[in-house]
Copies of this chain bind each other. A is one copy, B any other.
Amino acid sequence: MSESAVVNRRILLARRPDGPPVPEDFKTVKEPPPAPRAGQALLRTLYLSLDPYMRGRMSEAASYVEPLALGDTMCGQTVSRVVQSNDARFKAGDLVLANSGWQDYAVESASTLTKLDAAMPRPSYALGLLGMPGLTAYVGLLDIGQPKSGETVVVTAATGAVGSVVGQIAKLKGCRTVGIAGGAEKCAFAVRTLGYDACIDHHAPDFPQLLARACPKGIDVYFESVGGSVMEAAWPLLNVHARVPLCGLVAYYSLKSLPAGPDHVPVLLRQLLVKRMKVQGFIIFEHLDRQADFLRDMSGWVRDGKVKYREEVLEGLERAPAGLIGMLRGDNFGKLVVKVADG
């Protein structure tokens, strides 16, 4: 590789979206890659993860973390190859998990990198099934949802990076699993491949009735990542002692103000009280103590063929903006990653 010929494409936040993001909210700049200093490594991005939380980082409103500044590189977890290392823990050629964002190359402090297990089925799995989305499913379902055999677990975004794993773990735990997804193709995949007992298309005009029919014994665990009309159909079905792990509210991410739902807070609280329910929000970065248990269990399930996984791979960094825009509309089918370079 001739250093002088190398160009780093970097996709940055050009302006804050006014509603759903559009291509003009992003800008691509081309620069020489930065040079690593002591304790740092130069990385080549191989795969970039696209996730709904990125929409929140584009807004000015504070959320979990500081929003991106205008001009910042769009954030994101990556699977990267070490090109050059100035730290003894890594050497050129190592495959690592990094947070390098939307760019071809990045310089990262070695302390922020995790060496990837060469035994992983595919390196990109570290961004999904065996990464943060998988851990989100594992912790949210098992630790917060605490499903018991025979209970009904309803999963929003049932074929997505998190939901597809939630549904399969719930099935392994002996639950009746009912997915909610957008469109007949996803619903068929959910039942045939992911093993859901039923999957309901939330675009169906009689969606609330179909969901109720699929849950004849009500809902014991409602894994919530969406909100909106999906939530409105699910809540009335929640049973006494229902648990609601809450890891996202994608339906609201691009709204300028939150909608006036059909119910007011007192209605929700009364339901919570009368049914002795639990609703708990969580983000996965606060549950990394479960990483070892998760990797042990999930690696076993994958090895034994008990968990299936679908990736949608976009070829080329330049497709990342359209990929995120589409994901927020529900266009993706499975875990969405961008392949930035060959391994």
Other contacts beyond A227-B266, A276-B282: 7, CB < 8 A:
A224-B269, A249-B269, A265-B268, A269-B281, A272-B281, A276-B283, A278-B278
Copies in the complex: 2
- Show 17 residue pairs from A and B whose CB-CB distance is below 8 angstroms, ordered by the A residue: A63-B274, A227-B266, A231-B265, A246-B269, A249-B266, A249-B269, A249-B270, A252-B270, A261-B264, A261-B266, A263-B264, A264-B264, A265-B267, A265-B268, A277-B280, A278-B279, A279-B279
**A227-B269, A269-B246 as given contacts; A264 in contact with B274, CB under 8 Å:** no
A342 at the interface (CB under 8 A from B): no
Residues of B within 8 A of A279 (CB): 269, 272, 278-280
Whether A281 contacts B273 by the Cβ 8 Å rule is yes
Determine the residue in chain B with the shortest Cβ distance to A275: B281
Residues of B within 8 A of A283 (CB): 276
Complex partner residue of A267 from B258, B270, B273, CB under 8 angstroms: B258
Instruction: Encode contact with B along A228-263: 1 for CB under 8 Å, 0 otherwise.
Output: 100100000000000000111100100000111101
Min distance, Cβ A148 to any Cβ of chain B, angstroms: 15
Interface centre among A260, A270, A277 (most CB of B within 10 A): A270
Min distance, Cβ A249 to any Cβ of chain B, angstroms: 6
A3 at the interface (CB under 8 A from B): no
Determine the residue in chain B with the shortest Cβ distance to A273: B281
Residues of B within 8 A of A261 (CB): 264-266
Spell out A's residues near B (CB within 8 Å). 63-64, 224, 227-228, 231, 246-249, 252, 258-261, 263-270, 272-283, 286
Min distance, Cβ A154 to any Cβ of chain B, angstroms: 16
Residues of B within 8 A of A280 (CB): 272, 276-280
Determine the residue in chain B with the shortest Cβ distance to A280: B278
Whether B259 contacts A272 by the Cβ 8 Å rule is no
Residues of B within 8 A of A282 (CB): 276
**A264-B265, A279-B279 as given contacts; A273 in contact with B258, CB under 8 Å:** no
Complex Cα gap A252–B270 (Å): 9
Whether B276 contacts A286 by the Cβ 8 Å rule is yes
A-B CB proximity, top 3 nearest:
A273-B281, A258-B266, A272-B281
Determine the residue in chain B with the shortest Cβ distance to A247: B273
Determine the residue in chain B with the shortest Cβ distance to A246: B273
Min distance, Cβ A240 to any Cβ of chain B, angstroms: 9
Complex Cα gap A259–B267 (Å): 8
Residues of B within 8 A of A277 (CB): 280-281
Complex Cα gap A126–B201 (Å): 54
Complex Cα gap A63–B271 (Å): 9
Residues of B within 8 A of A246 (CB): 269, 272-273
Complex Cα gap A266–B284 (Å): 21
Determine the residue in chain B with the shortest Cβ distance to A263: B265
Residues of B within 8 A of A275 (CB): 281
Residues of B within 8 A of A259 (CB): 264, 266
Complex Cα gap A267–B258 (Å): 6
Residues of B within 8 A of A249 (CB): 266, 269-270, 273
